[in-house]
A and B are shown apart, each in its own frame.
Chain A
Amino acid sequence: MAILGAINPMLSLGLDGDNAWRLADYVKRGGYSALKRILAEKMPQEQVINEVKKSVLRGRGGAGFPTGLKWSFMPRSFPGEKYVVCNSDEGEPGTFKDRDILRYNPHSVIEGMAIAAYAMSATRGYNYIHGEVWEIYTRFEEALDEARAAGLLGENILGSGFNFDLFAHHGYGAYICGEETALLESIEGKKGQPRFKPPFPASFGLYGKPTTINNTETFGSIPFIMSLGGEHFLEAGKENNGGTKLFSVSGHVNKPGNYEIPLGTPFSTLLEMAGGMRGGRKLKGCIPGGSSSPVVPGEIMMGCTMDYDSIAKAGSMLGSGAVIIMDESTCMVKALERLSFFYYEESCGQCTPCREGTNWLYKVVHRIENGQGRPDDLDLLASVTANIMGRTICALGDAASMPVQSFIKHYRDEFAYHIEHKKCLVPLEVQRAGSGFFKATV
């Protein structure tokens, strides 16, 4: 089981045993009672949306946009089909929570999407699932079959007259499809290239119809908000940061894995839950919200709490809640080189600043790492990022630039050392020991 620890959990509560993901177990945990009540009471749509607003649930996919507000953008009186779409593309390096939600609690997402569909008069939904997790995709399909067989999806759900059907769409390896408009293009059977905004999906989404896109964890939180009440959910976190959240902790800790904690929990507590630093080494830096969020030096990170506001104050973003831990054995130039390669590989190529810029960023960081750096390379990197930021169709351009800017800002000496001495500041044997890979045989 990969949800390794929790404080006052909701999404990961009671997920014991091999059948926790099944409909029967979910219902035993109180599942589908929120949907049933809404349908039985014919709760006004406005009331559902207000409850979500009260909860101050902020989108768990990366941007942290208030979910209730997003739902209120859907046009009321649109005559045709409307869609709700779940983003389970989870490709942001460091993030692996949606996989566990779909693996252990898929019905929470199905119920959350059905409630969302009810509140916005959508009759069809899709869940876009990351290409690399085939087993999770097949499990979700099985969960959908269970829900359909129990009359919880399809026509006239539980005799209420409400129709909603939901299908899974399997991705096939493109990080950019996590961007919501690229994801819609991809469902339409095209290359996953982001669209110009506006128009926003709420007015022109899937097949040109009004569409709301939320992250897996966002939808999975909805049943809890509707059962416990928006205020209760808000109080489970902290002001302006409603609820608990799953954090995916990876890198140099003893127990990498998912942890569900109230927003506002000290970072030091999360680090402790994850078994502390591997080998007792010192925390050098932390990327707190997935690879696109700026790196935060260890000492600053130790003073943060895990919520949108505290991490923003530290100069970064809570993003998807992917906490990448790097200890003293990490070569920061090599770390950045790998990330820059990723963005260069995954740029969809339709904007020149992103296509050319990500190529430059990778080339220059690569040559610094490989002892070919030039004295003015750090200035060159700064100017390339300045030429990308804010000049592209989607946020991938910014996502590629922010790691470069923040790594150089906080570890400038290490980059300068590479350029001057043509080698890593951290000795290679130390780096090698850090990964722990060879300890099993040596």
Chain B
Amino acid sequence: MLTPDSLKRIDREIAKYPADQKQSAVMAALAIAQEELGWLSSEAIEFIAGYLGMPPIAAYEVASFYNMYDLKPVGKYKLTVCTNLPCMLTGGVDAGEYLKKKLGIGYNETTTDGRITLKEGECMGACGDAPVMIVNNRRMCSWMNPEQIDKLLAELE
């Protein structure tokens, strides 16, 4: 289900924990699976559970508890905008509205070409850089004024 490279990365995570606590690697393993597959299907979650020797239901619980796992398909790029209060005061909400207008979609929707999914996020621990947004859970973009957003969208082909 996953490439040898992903499995190697998961093994590296497992090694961080005591030998009888493999389950501790489940968060990282799910994240690595999502990075490779784009989202977490039931099969992917069950595969991870099997790989770590834990009950599938326990892995489901984790996948559904944490906000950054996607249990449904998302666009090629997932754009999460922080709209919490500190960011809102410096344009976080406005940035979200600007994106909605430009992309013609609302939060939790994907553009018809499957390119971009828009999400509303909570504080990313970067409020001094507002407005902030994250691409595919990995790349944080700071000081996203209209000009910067246009640039980012042009780049996300």
Interface string of B90-116 (1 = CB under 8 A from A): 110111001000000000000000000
A95 in contact with B125 (CB, 8 Å): yes
**CB <8 Å contact, B125 and A189:** no
A residues near B61, Cβ cutoff 8 Å: 190-191
Stretch at the interface among A15-23, A306-314, A339-347: A339-347
Q: How far is the CB of A75 from chain B (nearest CB, A)?
A: 19
Identify the closest chain B residue to A442 (Cβ): B146
Chain A minimum-CB-distance residue to B97: A437
Asked whether any CB of chain A lies closer than 8 Å to the CB of B33, the reply is no
With A172-B27, A248-B128, A437-B146 known as contacts, the answer to whether A134 contacts B138 (CB < 8 A) is yes
In the complex, the answer to whether B66 meets A250 with C-beta atoms within 8 Å is no
Size range of the chain A interface in the assembly: 35 or more
From 107 to 157 in chain B, residues with beta carbon under 8 angstroms from any chain A beta carbon are 121-131, 134, 137-140, 145-147
B3 at the A/B interface (Cβ < 8 Å)? no
Interface set, chain A 290-349, CB cutoff 8 A to B: 291, 322, 324-326, 330, 335, 338-339, 342, 345-346
Shortest CB-to-CB span from A182 to chain B, Å, is 10
Inter-subunit contact B146/A440 (CB<8 Å): yes
Bound complex: CA A90 to CA B146 (Å)? 27
- Set of chain B residues within 8 Å of A57, measured between Cβ atoms: none
Q: Tell me if A172 and B69 are in contact (CB < 8 A).
A: yes
Contact of B86 among A98, A99, A167, A250 (CB under 8 A): A250
Decide: A435 near B94, CB < 8 A? Known: A169-B27, A342-B84, A441-B146: yes
B31 touches A (CB below 8 Å): yes
- Contacting B127 at CB < 8 Å: which of A248, A339, A440? A248
Name the residue of chain A whose CB is nearest to the CB of B91: A437
Question: For the side of the interface on B, what is the size category?
Answer: 35 or more
Q: Which of B58, B126, B147 has a CB less than 8 Å from the CB of A441?
A: B147
Contact with B along A202-218 (1 / 0, CB 8 A): 00000100000000000
CB neighbours (8 Å) of B58 from chain A are: 189-190
Closest to B138 in A: A134
Task: Check B140–A338 contact: CB distance below 8 A.
Answer: no
A251 pairs with B68, CB closer than 8 A? no
**In this assembly, does B54 line the interface, its C-beta being within 8 Å of a C-beta of chain A?**
yes
Q: Are B86 and A251 in contact (CB under 8 A)?
A: yes
The answer to whether A93 and B122 touch (CB under 8 A), given A187-B24, A435-B91, is yes
- Determine how close the nearest CB of chain B comes to the CB of A244; give it in whole angstroms: 18
Contact A189 B130 (CB under 8 A): no
B54 to chain A, nearest CB (A): 7
Q: Which residue of A lies closest to B95 (CB)?
A: A437
Q: Which of B69-84 contact A (CB under 8 A)?
A: 69, 83-84
Known: A134-B137, A172-B66. A186 touches B27 (CB 8 A): yes
A358 at the interface (CB under 8 A from B): no
Alpha-carbon distance A188/B125, docked complex (angstroms) = 23
Which residues of A in the span 216-239 have a Cβ within 8 Å of any Cβ on B? Answer: none
- A135→B121 CA distance, assembly (Å): 18
Q: Are B127 and A170 in contact (CB under 8 A)?
A: no
Contact with B along A162-180 (1 / 0, CB 8 A): 0000011111111100000
Q: Is there contact, CB below 8 Å, between A173 and B23?
A: no
Q: In the bound complex, do residue B138 and residue A251 qualify as a contact, i.e. CB atoms below 8 Å apart?
A: no
A291 and B54 in contact, given A132-B140, A187-B24, A248-B127 (Cβ under 8 angstroms): no
Kindly identify which residue among A81, A132, A187, A252 contacts B121, using a CB–CB cutoff of 8 Å.
A132
The answer to whether A250 and B25 have CB atoms under 8 Å apart is no
Is B131 a contact of A437 with CB atoms below 8 Å? yes
Docked Cα-Cα span, A96 to B124, in Å, equals: 8
Q: Tell yes or no: A131 within 8 A of B by CB.
A: yes
Chain A residues near B23 (CB, 8 Å)? Answer: 188-190
- In the complex, whether A106 has a CB less than 8 A from a CB of chain B is no
Does B4 touch A at the CB level, under 8 Å? no
Residues from 80 to 135 in A contacting B, C-beta threshold 8 Å: 81, 90-96, 98-99, 124, 126, 130-135
CB pair A189–B54 under 8 Å, yes or no, is: yes
Q: Are B94 and A96 in contact (CB under 8 A)?
A: no
Report if B89 contacts A (CB, 8 A): yes
Asked if residues A189 and B147 are in contact (CB atoms below 8 Å), the reply is no
Which of A90, A130, A174 interacts with B65 by CB under 8 Å? A174
Which residues of chain A are within 8 angstroms of B124 by Cβ–Cβ distance?
130, 132-133
Min C-beta distance of A50 to chain B, whole Å: 32
- B130 pairs with A338, CB closer than 8 A: no
Q: Which of A2, A126, A187 contacts B128 (CB 8 A)?
A: A2
Listed A/B pairs (5) with beta-carbon separation below 8 Å? A96-B127, A135-B138, A172-B30, A187-B24, A330-B89
In the complex, besides A132-B68, A330-B89, 19 extra interface pairs with C-beta distance below 8 angstroms are A94-B85, A132-B134, A171-B27, A175-B122, A187-B24, A189-B27, A207-B18, A250-B86, A250-B87, A291-B123, A326-B89, A435-B93, A436-B91, A437-B95, A437-B98, A437-B145, A437-B146, A438-B146, A440-B147
A contact set with B: CB distance below 8 Å: 2, 81, 90-96, 98-99, 124, 126, 130-135, 167-175, 186-192, 207, 248-252, 256-258, 291, 322, 324-326, 330, 335, 338-339, 342, 345-346, 432, 434-438, 440-441
